[in-house]
Every structure is written in C-alpha cells, then in structure tokens.
A and B are shown apart, each in its own frame.
Chain A
Amino acid sequence: MLSKRIIPCLDVAHGRVVKGVQFVDIIDAGDPVEAAIKYDEQGADELTFLDIRASHESRDTLYHMVTEVAEHVFMPLTVGGGVKALGDIENLLHAGADKVSINTAAIFTPELVRDAAERFGSSTIVVAVDAKRVEQHWECFTHGGRKPTGINAVAWAKRMSDYGAGEILLTSMDADGTKNGYDIPLTCAVSDAVTANVVASGGVGTLEHLAAGLKEGKADAVLAASIFHFGTFTIHEAKSYLAAQGIPVRL
C-alpha cells in the first residue's frame, strides 16, 4: 500500500540551513548535507529545500548545495525558491533535484507550469500555493506571503493540477508558525479539488497535527520544519505515532 510521506523542510540561504521566526531573527542552523544525513538516518521520506533568499547571487550557491546533498543522501529532493523560468528548473534538476517547486512565477506566468510539466514531466513539477483565509474563502499570496493576488486558492490549485503540476505544496499563511495545526478545511478542500498530490504545510506543533493533515485533510504527504529541526520529535517518532493511528507509513 502506498505510504503517506513525512517531509522535513529546510529553509536555506546562501547554501546554509537557516532558522527564522516569521522571517526575522534568522540564524545559521548548519550545513545542509549534515541536516540531510540526519533526516535520512531518521527515515524521512523526502526532503524539501526552500531558498528563502532566492536572489541571483545565491543561485549558484544553491545549485552547488543541491549537488552536494544529492551525493550523500539517496531520497527524493524538492527544491524551490525564486524559480522563474524553464532554465531555472533545468539547472536545479541537473544539479540533483528531483522536483522543483514554483510559487510566485506560476501566478504571473501560469503557462510556465504547463510548459514545465510537458518538458520535464508532471512528477517533477510542484506548485507551491500560499493561502490565507479572506472572508469565506482562501486567497493566494505571493512573495513569501506578503502580496495578495485576489485569486481563489482552491480554484488556483485545481488549475495548476490541470496544467500538469504533479504536486501542490499547500501552505496556510494563517496557520504557519502558530503550532496550532494545519488548516484542515483548506487542506481538505484542495485535496478534494485536485488530481495532483497534496502536501500539507504550515502550523504543525504536535504529532496529532500530522495525523489530522493526512486523515481529515486528506493530504498525501505532510511537511513540517520546526518540530523536526528543534528535536521536539524525530521522524521515526512521528511515523511510529502515525502507524499506531492506522495511517500507512514506511517504517
């Protein structure tokens, strides 16, 4: 049976893992290869690296970092942050990424997702959707959650799935950083709307939150950062808990 995936997410800047609280007080949190090896040993199913600087200067450093990580761990790597063109995707795939996440550029150029899926395959293309509750629905935000777009997030996720994105990395801006759990109604609404895989993100504070994202949110995978970084739980502890809840995981 297909297992639900547990994905630790690492924020990177200039080729280093960083930790930050709401994008301020960013501190160096170590070497990406060491972090990747640690999560590999704990049994992570995939790794996601998000380049929070995403500037031109940090591009080459990012490619180098991906190459180095891919030499040491043999599991799927998703890389995102500042991807604007087919050339960026190609460079990341050549560096050793398995999947590339597109966020802001998809909003401005939706055709990029269609072109990328045709050229590199749906399984390679992830669209990151940052959604925030606005009145009775959810709206997409860009630029790391700073700019509203007026676009309905559920409809947008469906459009991106129809354009060939193989995965939707769905982050609730409301839940992110709260440790109060995923936005379950949002996750469930997107999971029901799309044929692509859905990765729930934003808000995990406890293992129960992971289970809720998979069961009630119907997500295919759950992403979390701080509970794993700060050693609150290991990946193995998380998986053991989920298995005890009857959720299929790879132990």
Chain B
Amino acid sequence: MIGLINYGMGNLHSVAKALEKAGGRVELVDDAGKLQDYDRIVLPGVGAFRDCIGALQKTGMDAALKASIDSGKPFLGICLGMQVLMDVSCEFGSYRGLGLIPGAVKPFPEQHPERGFKIPHMGWNDVVLSSAKTPHPVLAPLAGKQVYYVHSYCCMPQNPDHLLAACSYGDYPFAAAIGRDNMVAVQFHPEKSQRAGLALLEAFLQWHP
C-alpha cells in the first residue's frame, strides 16, 4: 500500500488517480503516526515552500517522513515534494527544508522575456539522464520523452551524485530529478505527463532499492 502524504494542499486527487492507474493501491495519510504502516511513500506538491514545510512540521509529518526514509522505504517526491527535501529555500524568505539532500532551492535567474524566457517554467520539456551513470530504474522509462513541468524554483544539489536527471530552460540547466538510496524526487509532474508519467509511476511501484 502506498501512503500519499496529505498536508492540506496540493493536487492529491490527480496523484492518487495516476498511482492507481499505474497499478498501485493508495491511501491518503494525514496522521504522522500512521506513516510507518505503508510500504511506499509519495509526497506530492503544489504551492509555496513555506506553507508546505510549515504544514509538515505542524503535524509532525517531517519527523515521521525522515524516519520512514531512514528505514529504507521507497520514496517519491513530486515538484514541491522534491524541493522540501533540500536544506533551505529562498522562496518568500529563507526557510529550512527537511535537509535530506544537501543543497538549496533557488529561483530561475533574472528572466529575459524578449528571449521567450517566461516564469513559471510551464510546459513539456526533456528529462536528460546522465550518460555517465546507469539510468536510475525509476527514470529509465523517460529516456527521449517529454514531461510536464510547472515551477519557478529549482533544486541545486551540492553533491553531483544526487543529480539523477537534468533539463534546461532557455540555456539554464536545472535538476529534473534528484535522489539517493531509496529516495527519488522529480521536478516535473508525472501525474500530468500522460503515458510517460504513468510509466514512471509504474517503475516506482516496481522499484526495490
């Protein structure tokens, strides 16, 4: 059973339906004490960093999530659910994240509208898997496919080993996917990426890190 963390924001409905379509059984989890009961954990995300981390802290979900990840359960973070893994974000001020992946969350650099560089980065773009490494099993189905992104901020992992896939907007490269051990997290929305997104979710359901 997949535990889909409900912190009172985000597009839970879409993520739950997509996971079911990919063959999973899903329950929403809002009680931090229950998180340990699930085999796999998904943290979705839409909204602002401070609200997300604030809601996770208020309910004790931050500590429960860290404990679950430490116990080795497969974890998937989506969009904001990826960004909160980092140490710190500068969205609407400076906020501490979960600190599970060293690095910061920063906005795209000053945009150049005349070059068509609009904010948010919104639409279908690439997932470039590093050719130097073996493709991550959850991301491998996305080779050569485009996925749906909607975001204004990007994760900047300090350790290059934590960068699993990249994308560029204009000529600015950013992290499309990060992770380590039993954690994988993506900046795009698999639940909105049609077949490519469902293929990623299927791969996550079969992943045994």
| Residues of chain A whose beta carbon lies under 8 Å from any beta carbon of chain B | 1-5, 40, 45, 67, 70-71, 73-76, 93-96, 98, 118, 120-124, 166-167, 191-192, 194-198, 218, 220-221, 250
Contact = CB atoms under 8 A, between A and B. Distances in A.
B111 A195 contact: yes
Contacts of B198: 74
Chain B interface, >50% SS class: mixed
A221 B48 contact: no
A123 B151 contact: yes
B126 A220 contact: no
A40 B194 contact: yes
B116 interface: yes
B121 interface: yes
25 contacts: A1-B126, A3-B146, A45-B124, A67-B13, A74-B14, A74-B191, A75-B192, A76-B148, A76-B150, A94-B13, A96-B14, A121-B47, A122-B119, A123-B151, A166-B122, A166-B150, A192-B113, A197-B118, A197-B120, A197-B122, A197-B123, A198-B118, A220-B122, A250-B124, A250-B146
Nearest to B192: A76
Interface of B: 11, 13-14, 17-18, 21, 46-48, 111, 113-114, 116, 118-126, 146, 148, 150-152, 168-169, 189, 191-194, 197-198
A124 B113 contact: no
A196 B120 CA distance: 7
A71 B48 CA distance: 25
Contacts of B47: 120-121
A123 B148 contact: no
Contacts of A195: 111, 113, 118-119
In this complex, the member of A5, A123, A167, A196 whose beta carbon has the largest number of chain B beta carbons within 10 angstroms is A123
Nearest to A41: B194
